């Protein structure tokens, strides 16, 4: 996982500190202890959830290996007095327990915050964590054991409102494409392909631009595409089977958005951006460039920030090139509408 900032209590801070300690123990032989990077963004390449073989070759030549918490879960549960068999030796119950604490301990629980913390693409998956997986006897349901029966109703209401807002967001994105404003991300190409397909229908060509945009969005929603805003891009993967497996972060057909970054998402078929996201990436590139000139940083840190700024520049160039291609293509399509329709007002 690349470097992130988020609020954390002392327990989470202690856990991260422990992982950093393990990371230091597995550093290269005969090298000084790794110090926390400053500024913190320069340490985004450090992978604390990794380990190495404690041997000469393991600590000098072999690369770091990711470790799965699931392998250690039985020991953790056993030391806590919990029978691992009750949890089927899986980590999902641990996630459910965490969300139960998150949503029921505080006065103002927020479902989107819980979804973001769990790294789930679909908020319905988050809400299901607070419902009974199987029918339970009276007195043993989640709501009865933990209180706050209104959470389920609040979740359903929030999902409905969020679905409306996301559909409006998608329609605004398609309308921007019609107007020729900046549209980046490979998902724009998929939208353009859909518009070309729909344009073969004379009834579609007769629609106003607003109704055309609505028809395009309805098609995308039916296919499972769903916008998930992230710091640098909107991930449209949703539940669409046709593109989930093609995501840059996909593992065995499932997107892993915890791996998301400007470089990881660059060129991904599920990525959709606009001028606001472009400005954010440019600002991050400029911060890295400024940091690379900061003589208070080590040489290695400055070189890392130069490399990051170069990568972001490539992302920016690719997005601008794609946007220009989209403008030319949609311009040709709109011209064909006007040539083949008596309607002159497309606003």
Q: pLDDT by residue (tens digit) across 147-176?
A: 655 555 566 676 777 788 889 999 999 998
Predicted confidence at residue 42, as pLDDT, reads 59
Residue numbers in the chain where pLDDT is lower than 70:
1-9, 36-45, 88-91, 106-108, 121, 133-134, 142-156, 158, 339-347
Q: How far apart are CA 72 and CA 153, in angstroms?
A: 36
**CB-based contacts of 153, cutoff 8 Å, min separation 6:** none
Q: How far apart are CA 337 and CA 174, in angstroms?
A: 16
pLDDT tens track for 239-268: 888 898 899 988 888 888 777 888 888 899
| Strand arrangement, sheet containing 271-272 | 228-229, 234-235, 271-272
Predicted confidence at residue 155, as pLDDT, reads 60
Q: What are the distances in angstroms from CA 286 to CA 39, 280, 300?
A: 14, 10, 18
Predicted confidence at residue 56, as pLDDT, reads 78
Predicted confidence at residue 174, as pLDDT, reads 93
User: Helices marked H in 132-149 — which ranges?
Assistant: 142-146
- Count of Cβ atoms closer than 10 Å to residue 276 Cβ: 8
Predicted confidence at residue 63, as pLDDT, reads 80
User: Helices marked H in the chain — which ranges?
Assistant: 10-25, 73-79, 92-105, 111-118, 123-128, 142-146, 150-179, 187-198, 202-205, 209-222, 241-244, 262-265, 275-292, 299-340
Q: What are phi and psi for residue 283, nearest 5 degrees?
A: -65, -40
Q: How far apart are CA 335 and CA 327, in angstroms?
A: 12
Domain ranges of the chain: 1-67, 174-340
């Amino acid at each position: 996982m690349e470097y992130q900032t988020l609020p954390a209590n002392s327990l989470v801070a202690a856990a991260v500190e422990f992982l950093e300690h393990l990371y230091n123990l597995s550093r290269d032989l005969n090298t000084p202890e790794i110090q926390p990077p400053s500024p913190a963004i320069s340490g985004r390449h450090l992978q604390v959830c990794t380990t190495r073989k404690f041997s000469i070759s393991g600590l000098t030549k072999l690369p770091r290996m990711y470790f799965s918490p699931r392998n250690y879960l039985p020991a953790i549960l056993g030391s806590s007095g919990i029978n691992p068999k009750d949890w089927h030796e899986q980590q999902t119950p641990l996630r459910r327990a965490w969300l139960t604490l998150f949503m029921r301990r505080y006065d103002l629980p927020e479902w989107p915050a819980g979804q973001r913390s769990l790294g789930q693409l679909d908020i319905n998956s988050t809400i299901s964590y607070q419902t009974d997986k199987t029918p339970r006897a009276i007195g043993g349901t989640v709501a009865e054991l933990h209180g706050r029966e209104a959470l389920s109703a609040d979740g359903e209401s929030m999902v409905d409102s969020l679905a409306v807002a996301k559909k409006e967001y998608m329609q605004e994105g398609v309308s921007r494409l019609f107007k020729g404003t900046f549209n980046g991300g490979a998902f724009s190409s998929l939208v353009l392909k859909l518009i070309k397909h729909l344009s073969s229908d004379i009834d579609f060509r007769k629609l106003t631009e607003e109704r055309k945009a609505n028809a395009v969005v309805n098609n995308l929603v039916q296919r499972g595409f769903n916008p998930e805003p992230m710091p640098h891009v909107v991930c449209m993967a949703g539940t669409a089977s046709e593109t989930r497996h093609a995501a840059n972060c996909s593992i065995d057909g499932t997107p892993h958005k915890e791996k998301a970054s400007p470089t990881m998402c660059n060129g991904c078929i599920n990525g959709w951006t606009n001028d606001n996201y472009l400005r954010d990436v440019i600002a991050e590139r400029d911060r890295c460039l400024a940091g690379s000139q900061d003589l208070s940083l080590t040489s290695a840190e400055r070189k890392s920030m130069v490399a990051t700024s170069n990568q972001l520049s490539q992302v920016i160039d690719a997005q601008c090139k794609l946007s220009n291609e989209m403008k030319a293509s949609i311009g040709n399509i709109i011209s064909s509408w006007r040539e083949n329709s008596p309607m002159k007002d497309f606003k």
